[in-house]
Amino acid sequence: MGTKTIAIGTDLSLPGREAATIPWTIWSCVAAVTSVILGAHWDISWHRSIGRDDFWTPPHIAIYFCGVLAGLACAWLILATTFHRAKQTNTVRIWGLHAPLGAFIISWGGAAMLTSAPFDDWWHNAYGLDTKILSPPHVLLILGVFGVMMGTMMLILGQMNRAEKAEQKRLSMLFLYVGGMILVLLSILVMELTFRVQMHNAGFYRVIAVTMIPVLVGVGQASRQRWGATGTALVYMAVICAFQWILPLFPATPKLGPVYFPVTHFVPPGFPLLLVVPGLVIDLLRERFPAWPSWRLSLLLGSLGLAAFLAVQWPFANFLLSDGAKNWFFGSHYFDYGTGPKSSMRRGVFFLTDKTQVEFWTRMGMACGTSILAAWFGMGWGGWMRRIVR
Protein backbone atom coordinates (compact mmCIF):
# COMPACT_ATOMS: atom_id res chain seq x y z
CA MET A 1 0.00 0.00 0.00
CA GLY A 2 1.31 3.41 -0.92
CA THR A 3 4.17 1.91 -2.95
CA LYS A 4 5.16 3.91 -6.01
CA THR A 5 6.51 1.97 -8.98
CA ILE A 6 8.78 3.45 -11.61
CA ALA A 7 8.83 2.10 -15.13
CA ILE A 8 12.05 0.91 -16.62
CA GLY A 9 13.68 3.71 -18.59
CA THR A 10 12.00 6.53 -16.67
CA ASP A 11 13.70 9.83 -17.62
CA LEU A 12 15.64 11.54 -14.87
CA SER A 13 14.58 14.91 -16.21
CA LEU A 14 11.05 14.42 -14.87
CA PRO A 15 10.68 16.14 -11.49
CA GLY A 16 10.71 13.85 -8.46
CA ARG A 17 11.75 10.72 -10.30
CA GLU A 18 14.95 8.74 -10.70
CA ALA A 19 15.94 6.61 -13.65
CA ALA A 20 15.83 2.83 -13.36
CA THR A 21 18.33 2.49 -16.17
CA ILE A 22 21.23 4.51 -17.49
CA PRO A 23 20.14 6.24 -20.74
CA TRP A 24 21.46 4.82 -23.99
CA THR A 25 22.84 8.23 -24.90
CA ILE A 26 25.29 8.03 -21.98
CA TRP A 27 26.32 4.51 -22.96
CA SER A 28 26.88 5.69 -26.54
CA CYS A 29 29.10 8.55 -25.38
CA VAL A 30 31.09 6.25 -23.08
CA ALA A 31 31.56 3.87 -26.03
CA ALA A 32 32.73 6.84 -28.13
CA VAL A 33 35.30 7.77 -25.47
CA THR A 34 36.55 4.17 -25.47
CA SER A 35 36.79 4.16 -29.27
CA VAL A 36 38.91 7.31 -29.46
CA ILE A 37 41.37 6.09 -26.80
CA LEU A 38 41.65 2.74 -28.59
CA GLY A 39 42.23 4.50 -31.90
CA ALA A 40 44.71 7.03 -30.49
CA HIS A 41 47.06 4.48 -28.92
CA TRP A 42 46.69 2.18 -31.91
CA ASP A 43 47.53 5.08 -34.23
CA ILE A 44 50.64 6.05 -32.24
CA SER A 45 51.80 2.43 -32.29
CA TRP A 46 51.09 2.33 -36.04
CA HIS A 47 53.35 5.36 -36.57
CA ARG A 48 56.08 3.86 -34.38
CA SER A 49 55.89 0.39 -35.96
CA ILE A 50 54.85 0.90 -39.59
CA GLY A 51 54.86 4.62 -40.35
CA ARG A 52 52.03 6.59 -41.91
CA ASP A 53 51.02 4.81 -45.12
CA ASP A 54 47.42 5.99 -45.64
CA PHE A 55 44.88 8.29 -44.02
CA TRP A 56 42.11 5.67 -43.76
CA THR A 57 43.93 3.31 -41.46
CA PRO A 58 41.89 1.30 -38.91
CA PRO A 59 43.18 3.45 -36.00
CA HIS A 60 41.97 6.63 -37.73
CA ILE A 61 38.56 5.08 -38.30
CA ALA A 62 38.31 4.23 -34.60
CA ILE A 63 39.29 7.81 -33.67
CA TYR A 64 36.75 9.53 -35.91
CA PHE A 65 34.04 7.01 -35.09
CA CYS A 66 34.05 8.66 -31.66
CA GLY A 67 32.95 11.98 -33.18
CA VAL A 68 30.28 10.33 -35.30
CA LEU A 69 28.79 8.18 -32.53
CA ALA A 70 28.84 10.81 -29.79
CA GLY A 71 27.73 13.58 -32.15
CA LEU A 72 24.74 11.64 -33.48
CA ALA A 73 23.67 10.47 -30.02
CA CYS A 74 23.71 14.01 -28.65
CA ALA A 75 22.08 15.49 -31.76
CA TRP A 76 19.20 13.07 -31.15
CA LEU A 77 19.14 14.02 -27.45
CA ILE A 78 19.02 17.75 -28.27
CA LEU A 79 16.19 17.35 -30.78
CA ALA A 80 14.22 14.95 -28.60
CA THR A 81 14.48 17.27 -25.61
CA THR A 82 13.68 20.40 -27.61
CA PHE A 83 10.46 18.96 -29.05
CA HIS A 84 9.35 17.22 -25.83
CA ARG A 85 8.44 19.93 -23.34
CA ALA A 86 8.09 17.47 -20.43
CA LYS A 87 11.79 16.59 -20.74
CA GLN A 88 13.05 20.18 -20.55
CA THR A 89 13.46 20.19 -16.76
CA ASN A 90 17.14 20.24 -15.75
CA THR A 91 18.28 21.37 -19.20
CA VAL A 92 19.81 24.51 -20.67
CA ARG A 93 18.64 26.53 -23.66
CA ILE A 94 21.08 27.45 -26.43
CA TRP A 95 19.92 29.04 -29.69
CA GLY A 96 16.36 27.97 -28.95
CA LEU A 97 17.35 24.32 -28.39
CA HIS A 98 16.96 22.49 -25.07
CA ALA A 99 19.20 19.71 -23.72
CA PRO A 100 21.64 18.95 -20.90
CA LEU A 101 24.73 21.17 -21.23
CA GLY A 102 26.93 18.12 -21.78
CA ALA A 103 25.03 17.28 -24.98
CA PHE A 104 25.90 20.67 -26.52
CA ILE A 105 29.57 20.31 -25.54
CA ILE A 106 29.74 16.80 -27.01
CA SER A 107 28.10 17.97 -30.25
CA TRP A 108 30.72 20.71 -30.60
CA GLY A 109 33.50 18.23 -29.81
CA GLY A 110 32.25 15.75 -32.40
CA ALA A 111 32.04 18.49 -35.03
CA ALA A 112 35.60 19.62 -34.23
CA MET A 113 36.89 16.06 -34.52
CA LEU A 114 35.30 15.52 -37.92
CA THR A 115 36.52 18.93 -39.14
CA SER A 116 40.09 17.96 -38.19
CA ALA A 117 40.02 14.87 -40.44
CA PRO A 118 40.32 16.58 -43.86
CA PHE A 119 42.60 19.21 -42.27
CA ASP A 120 44.96 16.46 -41.07
CA ASP A 121 44.96 14.76 -44.47
CA TRP A 122 45.74 18.07 -46.21
CA TRP A 123 48.48 18.81 -43.66
CA HIS A 124 50.25 15.53 -44.37
CA ASN A 125 49.97 15.97 -48.14
CA ALA A 126 51.37 19.50 -47.86
CA TYR A 127 54.05 19.10 -45.17
CA GLY A 128 54.76 15.38 -44.93
CA LEU A 129 54.91 13.22 -41.82
CA ASP A 130 54.20 14.35 -38.27
CA THR A 131 57.27 15.38 -36.32
CA LYS A 132 55.30 16.34 -33.21
CA ILE A 133 52.10 15.14 -31.59
CA LEU A 134 50.78 18.72 -31.34
CA SER A 135 50.53 19.66 -35.02
CA PRO A 136 47.69 22.15 -35.86
CA PRO A 137 45.21 19.50 -37.10
CA HIS A 138 46.03 17.33 -34.09
CA VAL A 139 45.38 20.27 -31.75
CA LEU A 140 41.91 20.69 -33.27
CA LEU A 141 41.33 16.95 -32.96
CA ILE A 142 42.48 16.91 -29.34
CA LEU A 143 40.23 19.85 -28.46
CA GLY A 144 37.33 17.95 -29.99
CA VAL A 145 38.18 14.81 -28.04
CA PHE A 146 38.36 16.82 -24.82
CA GLY A 147 34.96 18.27 -25.68
CA VAL A 148 33.48 14.80 -26.07
CA MET A 149 35.08 13.58 -22.84
CA MET A 150 34.15 16.61 -20.74
CA GLY A 151 30.64 16.62 -22.17
CA THR A 152 30.26 12.92 -21.37
CA MET A 153 31.35 13.60 -17.79
CA MET A 154 28.75 16.37 -17.54
CA LEU A 155 26.01 14.14 -18.94
CA ILE A 156 26.85 11.53 -16.31
CA LEU A 157 27.10 14.15 -13.54
CA GLY A 158 23.72 15.64 -14.40
CA GLN A 159 22.15 12.24 -13.83
CA MET A 160 24.39 11.21 -10.94
CA ASN A 161 23.93 14.34 -8.83
CA ARG A 162 20.12 13.91 -8.94
CA ALA A 163 20.01 10.14 -8.54
CA GLU A 164 19.26 8.03 -5.48
CA LYS A 165 22.10 6.18 -3.80
CA ALA A 166 21.96 2.88 -5.72
CA GLU A 167 21.74 4.54 -9.11
CA GLN A 168 24.30 7.14 -8.09
CA LYS A 169 26.88 4.43 -7.43
CA ARG A 170 26.44 2.91 -10.89
CA LEU A 171 26.78 6.29 -12.53
CA SER A 172 29.82 7.14 -10.42
CA MET A 173 31.58 4.04 -11.76
CA LEU A 174 31.03 5.31 -15.31
CA PHE A 175 32.23 8.74 -14.19
CA LEU A 176 35.47 7.28 -12.80
CA TYR A 177 35.94 5.32 -16.02
CA VAL A 178 35.73 8.47 -18.14
CA GLY A 179 38.03 10.24 -15.65
CA GLY A 180 40.58 7.46 -16.11
CA MET A 181 40.28 7.85 -19.88
CA ILE A 182 41.10 11.55 -19.49
CA LEU A 183 44.30 10.53 -17.70
CA VAL A 184 45.09 8.22 -20.63
CA LEU A 185 44.53 11.07 -23.10
CA LEU A 186 46.72 13.42 -21.07
CA SER A 187 49.45 10.77 -20.96
CA ILE A 188 49.39 10.76 -24.77
CA LEU A 189 49.74 14.54 -24.94
CA VAL A 190 52.80 14.53 -22.66
CA MET A 191 54.29 11.28 -23.99
CA GLU A 192 57.32 13.04 -25.46
CA LEU A 193 58.11 14.49 -22.01
CA THR A 194 57.54 11.38 -19.93
CA PHE A 195 59.63 8.60 -21.45
CA ARG A 196 61.38 6.43 -18.89
CA VAL A 197 64.75 8.01 -19.66
CA GLN A 198 63.34 11.38 -18.48
CA MET A 199 62.00 10.20 -15.12
CA HIS A 200 65.00 11.53 -13.15
CA ASN A 201 64.41 15.09 -14.32
CA ALA A 202 62.52 17.66 -12.25
CA GLY A 203 60.71 18.69 -15.42
CA PHE A 204 59.10 15.25 -15.59
CA TYR A 205 57.50 15.73 -12.17
CA ARG A 206 56.37 19.24 -13.05
CA VAL A 207 54.56 17.80 -16.08
CA ILE A 208 52.83 15.24 -13.86
CA ALA A 209 51.85 17.99 -11.42
CA VAL A 210 50.25 20.07 -14.15
CA THR A 211 48.39 17.27 -15.93
CA MET A 212 47.64 14.40 -13.57
CA ILE A 213 47.25 15.88 -10.09
CA PRO A 214 44.23 18.12 -10.90
CA VAL A 215 42.41 15.21 -12.55
CA LEU A 216 43.03 12.87 -9.62
CA VAL A 217 41.85 15.51 -7.14
CA GLY A 218 38.91 16.83 -9.16
CA VAL A 219 37.48 13.55 -10.41
CA GLY A 220 38.02 11.90 -7.04
CA GLN A 221 36.10 14.65 -5.27
CA ALA A 222 33.26 14.84 -7.79
CA SER A 223 32.77 11.06 -7.86
CA ARG A 224 31.43 11.02 -4.26
CA GLN A 225 33.40 7.80 -3.77
CA ARG A 226 35.87 7.32 -0.92
CA TRP A 227 38.47 5.86 -3.29
CA GLY A 228 37.63 8.03 -6.28
CA ALA A 229 41.16 9.20 -7.10
CA THR A 230 42.51 5.66 -6.64
CA GLY A 231 39.82 4.24 -8.91
CA THR A 232 40.55 6.84 -11.59
CA ALA A 233 44.26 5.97 -11.51
CA LEU A 234 43.50 2.24 -11.65
CA VAL A 235 41.40 2.74 -14.80
CA TYR A 236 44.32 4.58 -16.40
CA MET A 237 46.81 1.88 -15.42
CA ALA A 238 44.54 -0.95 -16.57
CA VAL A 239 44.00 0.63 -19.99
CA ILE A 240 47.73 1.30 -20.56
CA CYS A 241 48.62 -2.22 -19.39
CA ALA A 242 46.09 -3.64 -21.85
CA PHE A 243 47.79 -1.79 -24.72
CA GLN A 244 51.21 -2.78 -23.34
CA TRP A 245 50.38 -6.48 -23.39
CA ILE A 246 48.04 -6.77 -26.39
CA LEU A 247 49.65 -4.63 -29.12
CA PRO A 248 52.87 -6.71 -29.38
CA LEU A 249 50.76 -9.77 -30.17
CA PHE A 250 50.15 -8.42 -33.69
CA PRO A 251 52.81 -8.36 -36.44
CA ALA A 252 53.98 -5.09 -38.00
CA THR A 253 56.77 -4.15 -40.41
CA PRO A 254 58.14 -0.66 -41.08
CA LYS A 255 57.19 0.80 -44.49
CA LEU A 256 59.25 3.97 -44.08
CA GLY A 257 62.92 4.56 -43.42
CA PRO A 258 65.47 4.83 -42.11
CA VAL A 259 64.97 1.76 -39.93
CA TYR A 260 67.32 1.78 -36.94
CA PHE A 261 65.64 -1.02 -35.02
CA PRO A 262 64.14 -4.22 -36.50
CA VAL A 263 60.48 -3.97 -35.57
CA THR A 264 58.42 -7.12 -36.15
CA HIS A 265 55.34 -6.38 -34.02
CA PHE A 266 53.35 -3.35 -32.93
CA VAL A 267 55.26 -1.21 -30.42
CA PRO A 268 53.32 -0.62 -27.16
CA PRO A 269 53.25 2.68 -25.21
CA GLY A 270 55.40 1.58 -22.28
CA PHE A 271 54.51 0.60 -18.75
CA PRO A 272 52.06 3.05 -17.09
CA LEU A 273 53.06 5.66 -14.54
CA LEU A 274 52.41 4.59 -10.94
CA LEU A 275 49.61 7.12 -10.47
CA VAL A 276 47.71 4.80 -8.16
CA VAL A 277 50.07 5.78 -5.31
CA PRO A 278 49.35 9.55 -5.36
CA GLY A 279 45.70 8.65 -5.97
CA LEU A 280 45.67 6.60 -2.79
CA VAL A 281 47.39 9.39 -0.83
CA ILE A 282 44.89 11.96 -2.12
CA ASP A 283 41.93 9.78 -1.09
CA LEU A 284 43.35 9.14 2.38
CA LEU A 285 44.00 12.84 2.97
CA ARG A 286 40.53 13.86 1.78
CA GLU A 287 39.01 11.27 4.11
CA ARG A 288 41.19 12.33 7.05
CA PHE A 289 40.66 16.11 6.75
CA PRO A 290 37.20 16.60 5.19
CA ALA A 291 36.48 19.88 7.02
CA TRP A 292 39.70 21.66 6.09
CA PRO A 293 39.37 24.72 3.81
CA SER A 294 40.35 24.09 0.22
CA TRP A 295 43.53 26.21 0.32
CA ARG A 296 44.81 24.34 3.35
CA LEU A 297 43.91 20.89 2.09
CA SER A 298 45.41 21.64 -1.32
CA LEU A 299 48.79 22.19 0.37
CA LEU A 300 48.67 18.59 1.59
CA LEU A 301 47.16 17.05 -1.54
CA GLY A 302 49.59 18.76 -3.90
CA SER A 303 52.79 18.36 -1.91
CA LEU A 304 52.25 14.89 -0.46
CA GLY A 305 50.63 13.57 -3.63
CA LEU A 306 53.66 14.58 -5.70
CA ALA A 307 56.07 13.38 -2.99
CA ALA A 308 54.40 9.97 -2.97
CA PHE A 309 54.68 9.76 -6.74
CA LEU A 310 58.37 10.76 -6.58
CA ALA A 311 59.04 8.14 -3.90
CA VAL A 312 57.77 5.27 -6.08
CA GLN A 313 58.44 6.45 -9.65
CA TRP A 314 62.10 7.40 -9.10
CA PRO A 315 63.29 3.90 -8.09
CA PHE A 316 60.85 2.31 -10.53
CA ALA A 317 62.50 4.30 -13.33
CA ASN A 318 65.83 2.67 -12.38
CA PHE A 319 64.18 -0.71 -12.72
CA LEU A 320 62.62 0.16 -16.10
CA LEU A 321 66.09 0.85 -17.51
CA SER A 322 67.49 -2.42 -16.14
CA ASP A 323 67.62 -5.82 -17.81
CA GLY A 324 64.94 -7.02 -15.39
CA ALA A 325 62.31 -4.93 -17.20
CA LYS A 326 63.13 -6.29 -20.65
CA ASN A 327 60.22 -8.72 -20.84
CA TRP A 328 56.63 -8.84 -22.06
CA PHE A 329 55.23 -7.55 -18.75
CA PHE A 330 57.21 -4.30 -18.40
CA GLY A 331 58.14 -3.99 -22.07
CA SER A 332 61.41 -2.08 -21.81
CA HIS A 333 62.84 -4.03 -24.77
CA TYR A 334 60.38 -2.51 -27.25
CA PHE A 335 61.63 0.36 -29.45
CA ASP A 336 60.16 2.03 -32.50
CA TYR A 337 61.94 1.63 -35.82
CA GLY A 338 63.40 5.15 -35.65
CA THR A 339 65.21 4.68 -32.32
CA GLY A 340 68.92 4.86 -33.08
CA PRO A 341 71.57 2.76 -31.33
CA LYS A 342 73.17 5.83 -29.70
CA SER A 343 69.92 7.14 -28.21
CA SER A 344 69.36 7.15 -24.45
CA MET A 345 66.47 4.71 -24.89
CA ARG A 346 68.57 2.10 -26.68
CA ARG A 347 71.52 2.56 -24.32
CA GLY A 348 69.28 2.40 -21.24
CA VAL A 349 70.57 5.56 -19.59
CA PHE A 350 68.76 8.61 -18.25
CA PHE A 351 68.58 11.74 -20.39
CA LEU A 352 69.31 14.34 -17.72
CA THR A 353 68.45 18.01 -18.20
CA ASP A 354 69.21 19.24 -14.66
CA LYS A 355 72.93 20.04 -14.69
CA THR A 356 73.50 20.39 -10.93
CA GLN A 357 71.87 19.31 -7.67
CA VAL A 358 70.97 22.93 -6.94
CA GLU A 359 69.24 23.24 -10.29
CA PHE A 360 67.42 19.95 -9.76
CA TRP A 361 66.06 20.81 -6.31
CA THR A 362 65.13 24.33 -7.37
CA ARG A 363 63.07 22.89 -10.18
CA MET A 364 61.61 20.25 -7.87
CA GLY A 365 60.51 23.06 -5.56
CA MET A 366 58.81 24.68 -8.53
CA ALA A 367 57.17 21.34 -9.34
CA CYS A 368 55.88 21.09 -5.76
CA GLY A 369 54.42 24.59 -5.94
CA THR A 370 52.84 23.75 -9.27
CA SER A 371 51.35 20.60 -7.76
CA ILE A 372 49.81 22.57 -4.88
CA LEU A 373 48.22 25.03 -7.31
CA ALA A 374 47.02 22.11 -9.45
CA ALA A 375 45.45 20.46 -6.40
CA TRP A 376 43.73 23.73 -5.49
CA PHE A 377 42.37 23.98 -9.03
CA GLY A 378 41.29 20.32 -8.89
CA MET A 379 39.37 20.90 -5.66
CA GLY A 380 37.55 23.87 -7.17
CA TRP A 381 36.81 21.92 -10.33
CA GLY A 382 35.60 18.91 -8.33
CA GLY A 383 33.35 21.08 -6.16
CA TRP A 384 31.84 22.65 -9.26
CA MET A 385 31.19 19.24 -10.81
CA ARG A 386 29.36 18.10 -7.68
CA ARG A 387 26.81 20.87 -8.29
CA ILE A 388 26.02 20.00 -11.91
CA VAL A 389 22.39 18.87 -12.30
CA ARG A 390 21.68 19.72 -15.93
Q: What is the mean pLDDT of each run of 10 residues along the chain (390 residues)?
A: 38 42 90 95 91 78 92 90 71 82 90 84 67 72 91 91 82 94 94 94 96 96 93 97 96 88 93 97 94 92 96 97 95 93 92 93 96 96 87
Does one domain contain both 101 and 235? no
| 2 lies in some domain | no
Does one domain contain both 276 and 370? yes
Burial readout 94-115 (b: 16 or more C-beta within 10 A, e: otherwise): eeebbbbbbbbbbbbbbebbbe
Total number of domains in the chain: 2
Does one domain contain both 229 and 326? yes
Question: Looking at residue 129, what is its pLDDT?
Answer: 59
Does one domain contain both 220 and 289? yes
Question: Looking at residue 93, what is its pLDDT?
Answer: 82
Does one domain contain both 140 and 269? no
Does one domain contain both 375 and 261? yes
> CA 137, CA 60: separation in Å to the nearest integer?
13
> CA 263, CA 267: separation in Å to the nearest integer?
8
Q: 138, 160, 182 — which closes off a domain?
A: 160
- The whole-model pTM stands at 0.89
Closest by Cα among 353, 273, 350, 351 to 312? 273
Does one domain contain both 199 and 275? yes
| 282 lies in some domain | yes
Does one domain contain both 301 and 219? yes
Does one domain contain both 201 and 319? yes
Question: Looking at residue 306, what is its pLDDT?
Answer: 97
Give rounded-to-5 percent helix, strand, coil for the chain: 65, 0, 30
| 274 lies in some domain | yes
Q: 113, 140, 160 — which closes off a domain?
A: 160
Does one domain contain both 125 and 267? no
| 8 lies in some domain | no
Question: Looking at residue 133, what is its pLDDT?
Answer: 64
Does one domain contain both 135 and 245? no
Does one domain contain both 156 and 287? no
Closest by Cα among 374, 324, 322 to 348? 322
| 166 lies in some domain | no
Host domain of residue 105: 20-160
Kindly give, in sequence order, each residue whose CB lies less than 8 Å from that of residue 369, ignoring residues fewer than 6 positions away: none
| 257 lies in some domain | yes
Question: Looking at residue 289, what is its pLDDT?
Answer: 92
| 4 lies in some domain | no
| DSSP strands (E only) in the chain | 92-94, 97-99
